[in-house]
Amino acid sequence: MFSWDLLANAVVAGLLIGGFYAAVSLGVGLIFGLLDIANIAQPAFVILGSYAAYVLNSSYGLDPILTGLLLTPVFYLLGAAVYRVYYTSFERRGEESLRGLVFFFGILFIIEVSLSIIFGVDYRLIQTWYGSRSIEFAGVGVAFRYLVPFVVGVAMTLALHLFLGRTFYGRAIMAVSQDRLALRLMGANPVQIKTIAFGVGIAAASLAGALLISIAPVIPSTDRDYIGRMFAITVLGGMGSIGGTLVAGIVLGIAESLMATFFGPSWSLAVSFGILLLALAVRPAGLFGR
Amino acid sequence: MSRQRSLKLALTLIAVVLALVLASGGLFVARGADPIKIGFGMALTGGLSANGKPALLALQIWKDDVNKKGGLLGRQVELIFYDDQTNPATIPGIYSKLLDVDKVDLIISGYGTNLIAPLLPIAMERKLTLIGMFGLANNEKYQYPNYFQIQPAGPDPQTSTAIGFFELAAKQNPKPQTVALVGADAEYPQNALVGARELVKKFGFKTVYDKTYPPNTTDYTPIVRAIKATNADIVFVASYPPDSVGMLRAAHEVGLQPKMFGGGMVGLMFTSIMTSMGPMLNGVVNYDFWAPEPPMLAFAGIKEFLKEYQARAEKEKMDPLGYYLPPYSYAVGQVLGQAVEAVKSLDQQKIADHIRATEFNTVVGKIKFGKNGEWAKGRTLMVQYQKIQGNGIEQFRGAGTKPVLWPDELKSGNIIYPYASALK
Amino acid sequence: MKTGRTLLVALAVIVAGILLAKLRVNPYFYFAGYVILQYIVIATAWNILGGYAGYVNFGTPAFFAMGAYTAVFLIRSVHAPLPVLIVAGGLVAALLGLGIGYLTLRLRGTFFSIATLALAVVLQTAIINWEYVGGSRGLSVIRPSGPPFGNYVVFLFTVMGGLAVVSVLVARFIERSWIGRGLAALRDNEEAAECMGVPTLKLKLFATTVSGFFLGVAGAPFPYYVTFVEPNSAFALDYAVNALAMPMIGGTTSWVGPVIGAVLLGTASQLATVTISSEMNLFIVGVVLVAFVVLAPEGILGLVRKLRGR
């Protein structure tokens, strides 16, 4: 049962959700893509952001995006702290891969379980003031609930891109990801730069979490649904390319959406990961990888 | 050399631990021989804990009520329970602990079809009487005579969710023609859809959409659009809480307005979801087990129970109103307790025979068990959310926002049809 | 220990297991014991790839569940006996390991880990859509009658005990052979090992296949243990976390580590399930895991070695 109308809507819906997926994956794109640290705890930080937004929304009625932005400094400091522990325990000793991964897995677990001990397992959701509105143009309906996160996601990507390309610290991060020694020779301290990068990555999670809870209900174990997606998008987009993350997010979103509309949603999640596995086998550098 | 020594040390450690484990077999028996012990696993963490925790609270309230009146057979009742984590793999271990180490006298099941499934063979092997706490069609394969189910599904569990929905639809004039079926790839929704398909055939409707989605889908808009494109008169959704919310929100955004919408959407009756969704629920015709409507409030003991439950639930961070499972969980206690008192013993077979033969008076009304231990007559309700305004909790406390449409003996309101009329 | 002595010890353990079965101590012991023995197999299997080769598999549930679902398929279609289920489950999971290894092992380790995560999702979706083995509703399985030792769970306990001994022996054999040395070389520095002529790709594929095999073997008796198999519990995250935590806590460089880790963590989990809340149980596992990884990266074995002043 095909119609252009349906197709157009499916593509637009995929585009919008893709922007959101990209927002959620930006932290991983930065930390894993550029710093080469496999932070699998990132989804847990996103959920932490969701719960923070929920708490502030239910106590003070604050809009989640506002909360997300307000809390970025807090999350930044949290990220910096986590990186310091990671650095002293692993990077300095040169034993990153196995133990680092396990370290982050443990952090993921601790965050998830702490949230379920504190908040219980009821679904939490936020109804935003724009949440139930939608607009239509050219036969395509666009719900604000997805449009706003898409816009924020694109804005975040742009902001990060500018940060990395135009500011001193941003360029230092790009440099450290390519050549630590050269960076040292330039007079910057790689550990400090990496701390900043990690902090920014976790700060991004704060905002992403706020977006997540305004789209769908959240419980502590929601993070597991996103682990795979985040890394799939980062790898597909190409490690180290922030713009690539956005493109990959959109590609994944559209793939899921088309699958759900025309073939039945049962396989849409698997399709996304199927794409990832294929990409890894055929072109591991991703779409825009260096 | 040192390697050999560390090896020895390691093996010693292991031996010590094993010894501890063996010894601990006797560790936990230090409970008095006096009380009557009722043991069970319950979903206190994991996917079903949102219902498991209130179910536990209701049983605890029952235990307190019974003990205040002198207990059972003159002895105090003690509940021994462990968290099954919504994971069926824990069931054999938990019930072995309960029966072989804690030496409980009676068992009850945990909450949920998947948690009852591994328990039934254990109950059969050990010839125990088992009351199931909400599971769909668990006994159809085994037909164990000493199993009873408190969920009011009735003799045909798979159609129990949808029967009221489609009967109501068939009664409308002009009769709707086309049906869209959609649901999550998960246990309860899949069962509900199997039943729905049977009923669609029985009532002569035509299916124009029949698809499922993975449970952790984020965006339901494409699915809802595809359904809208079919112009189905009736949309039957079988979903778990996050997707119930997702589907409903998407339906509003896309402007999906069939003549009838709803069906088997778990979670819409949870207080936290009712208050967040507010007026978006209006018009949805959904299954339910309990509603604060006059016919259901008339049963003996229900008001006192709800008062006690609501006072305690506040403190324990669970559903504050308790208008779904807790009354039935309390009824489990009542059925078991009344049976024990009636046969004046803890003999499993005598208790089972009595339960099979008796009509019980409980806080959810009269219960008579029939084929396979299910209720002799099904009583899954069909309610419709009506006249909800804003997001306050008080409008849900009393009657009016969730009138019962079906079955007739508990009916307390009329359907607003088509669906769109209820949205105004 | 010399190989001859090890085999004697292994035999002694098996005999002890059979004696325990005949003795019929408190039935609960067999239920809890089965789970712990199962984890010994899982931890040992994981460590062959994770500890010896340094490649982290996050998709343990996928392999375990493949073993379980192969068994379900065979039970439902041909009522195959337990030994067939075990071997078949192991082989299917081994093939899975080979496949995923071939796809990703030419790349870096982190890509392999991510791929294992993706694999778990894809497989779970496939199983959910496969009605014959129960799909999302699950399938009930009836234990065969007339088992040895009179009680099926006691029988499974001895079988799993035997499997634990076999897996540990295999791990020990690999560790001491040229394969193990090759794996250790590529774990420490893959490029250098390549330059020295170590056939890294073949060794990695070997490790993933063997690791996968034993994970599948651990999963094959699962349907008869639980009598009800459904995707959420077969693919449970617990298997992923424990498969990681047990070797890390015990020590990853030797076959002894996973055994220690499995016994300690497994026993603690079983005790916690029937005493304190299981949320706290998980919390403690997470904290202990992080603590060990940060403070005692070589696990208990490493601590013991340090204590002995090496």
Calculate the dihedral angle through the C-alpha atoms of B279, B280, B281, B285, rounding to the nearest 10 degrees. Answer: 130
d(CA A32, CA A44): 15
Contact criterion met (CB below 8 Å) for B43 and B83: yes
For residue range B355-365, what is the model confidence (pLDDT) as tens digits?
999 999 999 99
All structural domains of chain C with their residue ranges: 3-236
Q: How many CB atoms lie within 10 A of CB C27?
A: 17
Whether the pLDDT of residue A289 is over 90: the answer is: no
Domain ranges of chain A: 4-282
Average pLDDT over residues A234-242: 81
Give the pLDDT of residue B30: 45
Contact (CB, 8 A) for B25 and C28: yes
Residues of B in contact with C31 (CB under 8 A): 92-93, 96-97
Q: What is the pLDDT of residues B36-49, one digit of tens each?
A: 999 999 998 877 88
| B70: closest CA of chain C, how far (Å) | 28
Question: Shortest CA distance to A38 belongs to which of A88, A78, A74, A90?
Answer: A90
- pLDDT recorded at residue B1: 43
C192 and A CB contact within 8 Å:
no
DSSP C152-184: HHHHHHHHHHHHHHHHHHHHHHHHHSHHHHHHH
**In Å, how far from its chain's centre is CA B45?**
15
CB C119 within 8 A of CB C127: no
pLDDT score for B386: 93
Question: Any residues with CB less than 8 A from the CB of A159 and at least 6 apart, and which?
Answer: none
Indicate the pLDDT class of residue C189, thresholds 50, 70 and 90.
Answer: confident
What structural domains does chain B harbor?
A: 36-155+299-373 (3.40.50.2300), 157-293+381-422 (3.40.50.2300)
Read off the pLDDT band of B193 (50, 70, 90). very high
Instruction: Write out pLDDT tens, residues C168-188.
Output: 999 999 999 999 889 888 888
The answer, yes or no, to whether residue B24 has pLDDT greater than 60, is no
Is the ipTM here above 0.85? yes
DSSP code string of B119-174: HHHHHHHTT--EEEES-SSTTTTT--TTEEE-STT-S-HHHHHHHHHHHHHHHSSS
Range of lowest pLDDT (A159-163, B58-62, C184-188):
C184-188
Residues of C in contact with A276 (CB under 8 A): 114-115, 118
The verdict on whether omega for the bond into residue C144 sits within 30 degrees of 0, i.e. cis, is no
Q: Is A269 on the interface with C (CB under 8 A)?
A: yes
Residues of C in contact with B85 (CB under 8 A): 273, 278
Asked, as a colleague might, if the bond just before B152 is cis with ω within 30 of 0, I would say: no
The percentage of residues in chain B with a pLDDT greater than 90, rounded to a whole number, is 73
At residue A228's C-alpha, the angle toward residues A222 and A233, to 5°, is 120
Structure confidence at residue C276 as a pLDDT band (50, 70, 90):
low
- What's the token pair of residue B172? 């409308």
CA distances (Å), origin C253, targets A18, A89, C180, C299 = 43, 19, 10, 9
Query: CA A92 to CA A90: how far, in whole Å?
Result: 5
**pLDDT exceeds 70 at position B421:** yes
Q: Which subunits have 3 or more CB–CB pairs within 8 Å of chain A? A: B, C
A and C: number of Cβ contacts within 8 A: 113
Q: For residue B285, is pLDDT > 50?
A: yes
**Per-residue pLDDT, A288:** 67
Q: Which amino acid is at A16?
A: L
Whether C306 shows a pLDDT value over 60: the answer reads yes
Band (A234; pLDDT cuts 50, 70, 90): confident
Contact across the interface for B50 and A123, Cβ inside 8 Å: yes
Reported as half-sphere exposure (CB side, CA atoms, 13 A), residue A160 has a value of: 35
**pLDDT digit string (tens) for C88-118?**
999 999 999 998 888 777 767 777 887 787 7
Give me the total of CB pairs closer than 8 Å, taking one residue from chain A and one from chain B.
127
Percent of chain A's residues with pLDDT above 90: 25
Burial class (CB in 10 A: 0-12, 13-18, 19+), A63: middle
The whole-number pLDDT of residue B17 equals 54
* Cα gap C68→A185, rounded to integer Å: 56
What does A61-90 look like in DSSP terms, one character per residue? Answer: ---HHHHHHHHHHHHHHHHHHHHHHHIIII
Binding-face residues of A in 6-45 toward C, CB within 8 A: 32, 36, 38, 40
User: Tens of pLDDT along B291-329?
Assistant: 999 999 999 999 999 999 999 988 877 888 999 999 999
pLDDT range class, residue A181, cuts 50, 70, 90: low
Question: Please, which pLDDT band fits residue B9 given cuts at 50, 70 and 90?
Answer: low
A2 or A76, greater pLDDT = A76
Q: Residue C72 and residue C90: Cα distance in Å, rounded?
A: 13
pLDDT surpasses 60 at A96: no
Question: Residue B174, Cβ neighbours under 10 Å: how many?
Answer: 7
Region A173-177: what's the mean pLDDT?
80
Contacts of B26 in chain C (CB under 8 A): 26
Q: How far apart are CA B225 and CA B229, in angstroms?
A: 6
For chain C, how are helix, strand and coil distributed in percent, rounded to 5? 80, 0, 20
Per-residue pLDDT band for B169 (boundaries 50, 70, 90) equals very high
| Token digits of residue B340 | 């024990």
HEC profile of B230-244: HCCCEEEEEECHHHH
Chain A CB contacts of C128 under 8 Å are 266
Q: What is the pLDDT of residues B92-151, one digit of tens each?
A: 999 999 999 999 999 999 999 999 999 999 999 999 999 999 998 899 989 999 999 999
pLDDT of residue A223: 82
Tens digit of pLDDT for each residue in C232-275? 889 987 888 889 889 988 988 889 999 999 999 888 888 877 77
Q: Tokens for C78? A: 């041909």
Radius of gyration of chain C (CA): 19
A178-198 as b/e: b if 16+ CB within 10 A: eeeeebeeeebebbebbbbbb
Q: Which CATH architecture has domain A4-282?
A: Orthogonal Bundle (1.10)
Give the minimum alpha-carbon distance from A230 to chain C in angstroms, rounded to a whole number: 10
DSSP labels for B328-350?
HHHHHHHHHHHHHHHHTS--HHH
Q: Do B267 and A6 touch (CB under 8 A)?
A: no
Residue with tokens 């793999």: B89
Higher pLDDT, C65 or C197: C65
Residue A126, chain C, CB below 8 Å: the answer is no
Q: Using omega within 30 degrees of 0 as the cis cutoff, is the peptide bond preceding B174 cis?
A: yes
What amino acid is encoded at B61 in this protein?
A: I
Q: Is the pLDDT of residue B58 over 50?
A: yes
Q: Which of A95, A109, A267 sits opposite C241 (nearest CB)?
A: A109
Q: Cβ(B326)–Cβ(B55) under 8 Å?
A: yes
Which pLDDT score is estimated for B114? 93
B88 contacts chain C (CB < 8 A): yes
Cβ neighbourhood burial of B310 (10 Å; 0-12, 13-18, 19+): middle
Which chain A residues are within 8 Å of C279, Cβ to Cβ? 113, 116-117
Q: Which of C274, C244, C248 is nearest to C42 (CA)?
A: C244
pLDDT digits (tens, 9 = 90+) for A111-149: 988 998 888 777 888 877 777 677 877 777 788 888 888
Terminal C-alpha separation, chain A: 41
C-alpha to C-alpha distance for B84 and B78, rounded to whole angstroms = 19
For position B26, what pLDDT does the model report?
43
∠ CA(A260), CA(A108), CA(C306), 5° rounding? 145
Residue B31 pLDDT: 47
Spatial distance between the Cα atoms of B119 and C227, rounded to a whole number of angstroms? 9
Predicted confidence band at B201 (pLDDT cuts at 50, 70, 90)? very high
- As a whole number, mean pLDDT of residues B342-364 equals 94
Length reported for chain A = 290
Chain C, nearest residue to B7 by Cα = C256
Share of chain B above pLDDT 70, in %: 92
Taking 70 as the threshold, does the pLDDT of residue B32 lie above it? no
At C131-159, the pLDDT tens digits run 899 888 899 998 988 788 888 999 999 99
